[in-house]
Amino acid sequence: LLISFLWFSIFQAWPDDLLISTYPKSGTTWVAEIMEMIYQDGNLEKCQRAPTYERVPILELKWPGLSTETPAPRLIRTHLQLALLPQSFLDQKVKVIYVARNAKDVAVSYYNFYKMAKGHPEPGTWDNFLEKFMDGQVSFGSWYQHVQKWGELDGPINLLYLFYEDLKENRKREIRKILEFLGRSLSEEMVDHIVQHTSFKEMKKNPMANYTTIPIEIMDQNISPFMRKGIVGDWKSVFTVAQNEHFDAHYAKKMAGCKLKFRWQL
């Protein structure tokens, strides 16, 4: 952990980098694929050249793909809390696309991810895990802090704040927002092509996006697939009434004064 901390804190950003930032389980791989399709002009062959985590490397993990040899413009992803973002990103005024997802679906997805991604401690029961999640005692810390602090960057730098639920509702509309943010334009056919390639169904069967390239000792997709359901409102089948009431009361306190409006269902 110390080594990776030292690594990313001295990371030198370039002005034409594009950073995709999300709390875990909020649509990172999804938006990474959309961005790749945009950057590669919809060329599927190019988008199949390597697994997603090499094409859009994870800042805090120092994948081999993320080095100064990577040609510009680079796409980079991170789950870091804003306070840990290397200063260089701010100095270079790097554009950021932030994706947020409602906390209840994130908690359920994170619980399943903890079980299958072996780097995590045993999550225990769902009830225990939910408490830990609410407490911010999970990898990458508090969801509440993450979604709020990153939102505050909008202004000091160029940040596009997207919601998983909006992407679910109308991916085409959100892709147009991204294009406008990037100052790029694509033909109608190309946008449709990207919409088609980035459906849940396509993502799930794409070996360069579905993490099938990761050994089973690290991610056991028999326990829970990396691309599990990809829906809004799955939390309803998991939260008990008591858990939901408890969560809502805590949520109201943690999010008091916050202008972000999350949707729990579509």
Ligand X SMILES: *[C@@H]1O[C@H](CO)[C@@H](O)[C@H](O)[C@H]1NC(C)=O
| CA–CA separation, 238 and 108 (whole Å) | 7
Which of 205, 231, 260, 266 binds ligand X (CB under 6 A)? It is 205
* Residue 79 is a catalytic residue: yes
Of 188 and 217, CB closest to ligand X: 217
Which of 193, 204, 229, 246 binds ligand X (CB under 6 A)? It is 204
String marking each residue 211-250 x if it binds ligand X according to CB under 6 A: -x--------x---x-x-----------------------
Smallest gap, in angstroms, from Cβ of residue 23 to ligand X? Answer: 22
| CA–CA separation, 116 and 23 (whole Å) | 18
String marking each residue 124-163 x if it binds ligand X according to CB under 6 A: ----------------------------------------
| CA–CA separation, 126 and 108 (whole Å) | 8
How does DSSP classify residue 24? T
- Residues paired with 97 in a beta bridge: 20, 160
Please name the residue that has the structure tokens 């639920």.
165
Which of 15, 196, 207, 236 binds ligand X (CB under 6 A)? It is 207
Smallest gap, in angstroms, from Cβ of residue 96 to ligand X? Answer: 29
DSSP conformation letters of 92-124: TT-EEEEEE--HHHHHHHHHHHHHHBTTSPP--
25 CB neighbour count, 10 Å cutoff: 23
- Which amino acids are annotated catalytic? 79
Binding stretches for ligand X (CB under 6 A): 204-205, 207, 210, 212, 221, 225, 227
